[in-house]
């Protein structure tokens, strides 16, 4: 079975988290991110008019990137995201009802987990990958410990406070990729600043991946 999360993150395993974005910024922001190589884009549902932004991004870039919603808390939200053209559900937690609803809708799910118990439960419920959240409370030593017990093909994605300089320690500990938020995008950011931030993340990852 195809795994859209793994497939899209194969070349650049960075999820762009656009918290606070408004629909009018979707074309500019999405265009820069896709141009820089990002192929997974998340719009948190606590952003202004998130479904409109998801629809705009999916319409313009859905053939080049996996577009979806973050901070998805309720199973009822999954259908709304799918209706807007989203194909990805990202959760801060591992509610099995939300994971199941995501599977029924044919969307990919990245479930949040802060303990191995939560992580294994999320995978058993059908999650495609695990969001290690908040990463500030889960240093690389924790990721290394998780990697020792989870199957090697399970994607572990630290999220929360991730910066370009912080990629290396997590990657060497066994992280599969990262969710990047405020160090990449903040509401109202200029095009030049966003492009600089995106290019810095991309170059930092490329330098890191060339070591292996």
Q: Active-site residue numbers?
A: 42, 131
Q: Do residues 158 and 178 lie in contact, with contact meaning Cβ atoms separated by under 8 Å?
A: yes
Count of alpha carbons within 13 Å of 62, Cβ hemisphere only? Answer: 15
15 token code pair: 């999820």
**DSSP secondary structure string for all residues of 136-163:** GGS-HHHHHHHHHHS-TTS-EEEBSS--
| Burial call 9-22: b when 16+ CB within 10 Å, e when fewer | beebbbbbbbbbbb
Residue whose pair of structure tokens reads 């901070």 in the numeric block? 71
The encoded tokens of residue 192 equal: 């030049």
């Amino acid at each position: 079975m195809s795994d859209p999360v793994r497939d899209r993150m194969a070349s650049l395993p960075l999820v762009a988290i656009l918290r606070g974005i408004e629909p009018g910024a979707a074309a500019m922001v999405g265009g820069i991110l896709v141009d820089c190589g990002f192929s997974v884009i998340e719009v948190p549902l606590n952003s202004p008019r998130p479904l409109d932004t998801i629809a705009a991004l999916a319409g313009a870039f859905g053939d080049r990137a996996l577009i979806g919603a973050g901070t998805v808390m309720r199973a009822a939200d999954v259908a709304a995201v799918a209706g807007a053209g989203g194909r990805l559900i990202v959760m801060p937690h591992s509610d099995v009802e939300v994971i199941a609803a995501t599977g029924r809708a044919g969307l990919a799910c990245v479930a949040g987990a802060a303990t191995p118990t939560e992580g294994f439960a999320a995978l058993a419920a059908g999650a495609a990958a695990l969001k290690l959240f908040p990463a500030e409370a889960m240093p690389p030593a924790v990721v290394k410990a998780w990697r020792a017990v989870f199957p090697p093909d399970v994607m572990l994605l630290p999220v929360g406070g991730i910066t370009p300089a912080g990629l290396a320690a997590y990657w060497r500990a066994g992280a599969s990729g990262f969710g990047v938020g405020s160090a990449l995008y903040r509401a109202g950011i200029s095009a030049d600043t966003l492009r600089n931030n995106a290019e810095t993340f991309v170059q930092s990852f490329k330098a890191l991946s060339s070591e292996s």
